[in-house]
Each structure stands twice: as structure tokens, then as C-alpha cells.
Homo-oligomer: A and B are copies of this chain.
Amino acid sequence: MSTVSTRMDKRTLQQNARRVLEPLVALLASLRVAPLLVSLFGVAFSLWGAVMVARGALLAGGVFLLIAGLCDVLDGDLARRSGRASAFGAFIDSTLDRVGEFLYFGGILLYVMRRPNGYDLWEPVVVLVALMGSVLTSYARARAEGLGVACKVGIMERPERIALLVIGLFAGHRFLMAVMILLAASSLFTVVQRVRHVHRSAEDAPR
């Protein structure tokens, strides 16, 4: 019951967020901007932001990540609106999303390990686990779908992960490390949820 209502809330929230962006999507569509171009801009912003984060400019990095996240919502909506949605579009969009994740967590990792005051070993380890958990969440779903099992279950998907990351970057080092711990734990939990889901759904299917 509570899962259903949470999911409904989430969907309503996403729909409202989309409505805010509608005029921008309409503008881009009328300018005939290709969705892939928007995705590539998102990756560029992620790269730029990751470099800033690696240099210790967390706040500026957070702003760039927010813009990258915006591009990420825009590209899909734009593709749908301009009738360009395609299997290849979905494929390249997902793949570039993963690139963005590697860039961001990579930036945070370099930031942590290059702090002038040094670092504790658990800090880079937690960042690596958070990166692994985030990418595996998406990998598990894609692999399951490749085997014919729908797999959109789990508490932590990409919008939630980006929101948490932005909050962490805005709030400074200690809070960022807390977010990393939260992301590491919750994304691994999501991976386990997906593994259990595939286990239940596909137990006796032939390889």
C-alpha cells in the first residue's frame, strides 16, 4: 500500500516538474534542436562540473550537475514531443547517463583524495561503492530486460540519485560524505531488490 502511494506521489511530482519544463521543450522543438544534442550538452556539463568538483569547487559543481540533470529530463521529453523517440535514442540516452555518473563520482573521488588536509581511507571507498551501486542499479535493469524480464523496481533511480548528489554538493564536505554513504547503501539495496525481483520472475526460464 505505502509503496503504491509513494510511487503515485513520485509520478505526480515528476509530471509537475515536466509541466514546468514544457515551454522550454516546446521552444527547443520549434528550433528543431536534436534530442541527442541536448544529451551531449548534458555530458559536457557533467564533465565541466566534475572537473570543478575535483578541484574542490563543490557548489559550482552542484550547479553544473543540476543543469546536466535538466538536460537529462529535456532530451527525453524533446524526443517524444518532436516525434523522434526511437530505440536508438533510448539506448544512447541511457548510455550517456552512465557516462555522466562516472564523470561525477570520478570528480568526487579525485576531490576526496586530493584534499589538502588529507582523507580517511573509508571516504574514497564509500565513493567507489556509491558509483558501483548507481551504475549497477541501471546495469541490473538493462541486463534483466535483455533477458526478457521487466525490472523497474527499486527505491533509488536516477532522478533521486541526482537530487541527493546536488544537495550533498551544495551542503559541503561532511554532508557530501553523508550523501555518499546514503547513496552507497540505498543503491546497493536497490540492486539487491532487482536481483530478487529477477530471481522471482525468471527462476525457471531457460538460459
Contact = CB atoms under 8 A, between A and B. Distances in A.
Interface of A: 79-80, 85-92, 94-95, 98-99, 102, 106, 109-110, 113, 121, 124-125, 128, 131-132, 135-136, 138-149, 191, 195, 198-199, 202-207
Residue of A85, A86, A205 with most partner-chain B CB within 10 A: A86
Contacts of A86: 202-207
A128 B110 CA distance: 10
A126 to B, nearest CB: 11
Contacts of A98: 132, 135-136, 139
A157 to B, nearest CB: 15
Given A86-B204, A88-B199, A99 B147 contact: no
A2 B170 CA distance: 53
A138 B125 CA distance: 23
Contacts of A191: 95
Which label, helix, strand, loop or mixed, suits the secondary structure of the A interface? Answer: helix
**5 nearest A-B pairs in the assembled complex, by CB-CB distance:** A145-B146, A85-B207, A87-B202, A142-B142, A102-B132
A198 B140 contact: no
B128 A106 contact: yes
29 contacts: A85-B207, A86-B202, A86-B203, A86-B204, A86-B206, A87-B147, A88-B199, A88-B203, A91-B149, A91-B195, A91-B198, A92-B199, A95-B139, A95-B143, A95-B191, A98-B135, A98-B136, A99-B136, A102-B131, A102-B132, A102-B135, A102-B136, A106-B125, A106-B132, A135-B135, A142-B142, A142-B146, A144-B146, A145-B147
A85 B145 CA distance: 18
